[in-house]
Structure 1
Amino acid sequence: MFKFQHKTAIITYSLNETGKAIAERFASLGAKMVLHYSEKENYGIDKLVSDIKAMGTGVYKVRVNFKEQTNYEVLFLPQKRKPDIIVLNPEQDESLMQLIQFAVKHIADKGRVIYIVPKTDLQNFPDFIEQMKKQASFVQQRGITLNAIVTKNDLFEIPTGSIHIADAAEFFASDLSDLISGQYIIINGLKL
């Protein structure tokens, strides 16, 4: 296991299955957490916050609806320093490319930006990869890595699907991926 003590992680849409699995994993590794949730996700945030506090790490919750506003700065206000890890976990019908551009400007040096590619966004995947590689080259002088995790449509039929996504996110957030940027992992549930 990799230790994320002394690191701060922001997770968008932390109440969906994937966001929750990643938030719990990073908190169990010692990261201070900033949990984003939307108005329609409101149910369950207090329990997640309580569960993470019980792990012995700091946690903040931030409610914002990205479909109505693009004030991404609100995610960065709770902590006193720049975040070390940002997991952009969009809703099914949403792309967070603007948030990626904002995140790479506001993350700590040697930070990690991890984008969970929505199942429904696979048709735009080649364009996304090109945009991601452009962003990755832009931030490489600061040691920031920008990588993606792609999920296949039927992954969530597997009971442990979100756990496997959390495994990949842990890898991309760890020191093991220091020299990996502009890349992606496809988690396909063993189906080609």
Structure 2
Amino acid sequence: MTRLIGKTALVTGASRGIGRAIAERLAADGARVAVHYSTSEAEVAETVERIGERAFPVRADLATMAGVGELAGALAERELDILVNNAAAPPAGPIETDTPERFDRLFAVNVKAPYFLIQRLLPLMRNGGRIISISTVATRMAYPTQTSFAMTKGALETMSLSLAQALGSRGITVNVVAPGATRTSANAALFTPEASAFFASHTALDRVGRAEDVADVVGFLASDAARWVTGQVVDASGGVHLGPRLG
């Protein structure tokens, strides 16, 4: 596929996992991809090597506003077509064990950074651009072990709805992709046979997700085929918790 030839994309948190799969998909579709990372030098080098000449690394710590400024500044000489907000701090646990410090970091990386990154990159974004943020199915179901994490993703979804309205006159679409349980090279150890069977049993399509499943949805939303889709949360979970299996 070459439908993104001539386009430039930024994928945050793209050194591994779902972010890497998204970067690879956009590059396969023809885009030049800025592969953002924070600390994982070896992993980002592997991602860039896997993609080839269409990828280049950009380092920034999105837990700080200085890092947000560094990332935006690294792209200041380019026009941008696609922004994928994928970077996220991990869940901080249930309310009983959460701390103000972990809570603040979650909101800094998962909410504040995407918001102000969009603000700073909008002058670089061409009309007809794409803003896509990665959320979670935990925003539509009770998941007490990830309460604060789900709160951050709910904020992303609300932000995206409002920005879709604000940016529509420029032809910029703003959407969200919400994965469910997704096995990647980065978290494979968590998916024991027992855990995989449990998640599959609660999924309509009867298996655990793969990073490529999510990346393909992002690829669609980044393409011209999705030009009439904006302000939406697209569930990319294989149908997690749609209801009891009665048959």
TM over 0.5: yes
| Residue type at the aligned position of 2:27 | A
Work out the CA distance in 2 between the residues paired with 1:79 and 1:4.
21
| Match status 1:84 vs 2:133 | no
2:151 matched to 1:151?
A: no
Q: Deviation at 1:32? A: 0.7
Question: Distance in 1 between the 2:153 and 2:71 partners?
Answer: 26
Question: Which deviates more, 17-26 or 1-10?
Answer: 1-10
CA distance in 1, matches of 2:162, 2:239: 30
Q: Secondary structure at the match of 2:63?
A: coil
> Which residue in the other structure is 1:50 paired with?
49
Partner residue in 2 for 1:122 = 150
Please state whether the residue corresponding to 1:109 is helix, strand or coil. strand
Q: Which has the larger radius of gyration?
A: 2
Instruction: Report the residue type matching 1:98 in the other structure.
Output: F
Counterpart in the other structure of 1:175? 224
Distance 1:161 1:59 in 2: 22
The 5 A counterparts of 1:61-72 are 61-72=57-68
Gaps of 5+ in 2: 91-105, 139-145, 184-190, 192-206, 243-247
The amino acid of 1:135's aligned partner reads L
Please tell me whether residue 6 in structure 1 is matched to residue 2 in structure 2. no
CA contact (8 A) 2:61 2:68 kept: no
CA–CA distance in structure 2, aligned partners of residues 22 and 4 of structure 1:
13
Give the superposed CA RMSD.
2.3
Question: What is the rounded CA distance, in whole Å, between the counterparts of 2:156 and 2:43 in structure 1?
Answer: 31
Q: Residues 101, 78 of structure 1: CA spacing in aligned structure 2 closer, same or farther, 3 A cutoff?
A: closer
Q: How many residues align?
A: 187
Which position in structure 1 is the counterpart of 2:102?
none
Q: CA deviation at 1:130?
A: 2.9
In structure 2, relative to structure 1, the CA distance for the partners of 1:70 and 1:145 (3 Å cut) is: farther
Give the Cα–Cα distance (whole angstroms) in 2 for the partners of residues 172 and 111 of structure 1.
11
Stretches of structure 1 that go unaligned for 5 or more consecutive residues are: none
CA distance in 2, matches of 1:14, 1:28: 15
Alpha-carbon offset, residue 105 of structure 1: 4.4
TM-score, normalised via structure 2 length: 0.67
Give distance in 1, aligned partners of 2:67 and 2:60. Answer: 8
Identity %: 27
Q: Is the 8 A contact 1:114 1:146 kept in 2?
A: yes
Shift of 1:26: 1.1
Confirm or deny: 8 A CA contact 1:34 1:75 kept in the other structure.
Answer: no
Shift of residue 30, structure 1, vs aligned partner: 1.4
TM-score relative to the length of structure 1: 0.84
Q: Is residue 235 of structure 2 the alignment partner of residue 186 of structure 1?
A: yes
Equivalent-residue separation in structure 2 for 1:78 and 1:59 (angstroms) = 13
Partner Cα distance (2:32, 2:153) in 1: 31
User: Is 1:10–1:33's contact at 8 Å kept on the other side of the alignment?
Assistant: yes
Deviations 1:133-183 (A, max 9, x none): 11111111110000000122x233566521111111011000011111111
Any conservation in 1 of the 2:16–2:43 contact (CA below 8 Å)?
A: no
Name the CA shift for 1:20/1:124 in 2 (closer, same or farther; >3 Å). closer
> Secondary structure, in 3 states, of the residue corresponding to 2:35?
strand
Structure 1 contact 149–169 (Cα < 8 Å) conserved: yes
Task: String of CA shifts for 1:44-65, please: whole Å, max 9, x gaps.
Answer: 2222212222xxx432211111
SS at match of 2:159: helix
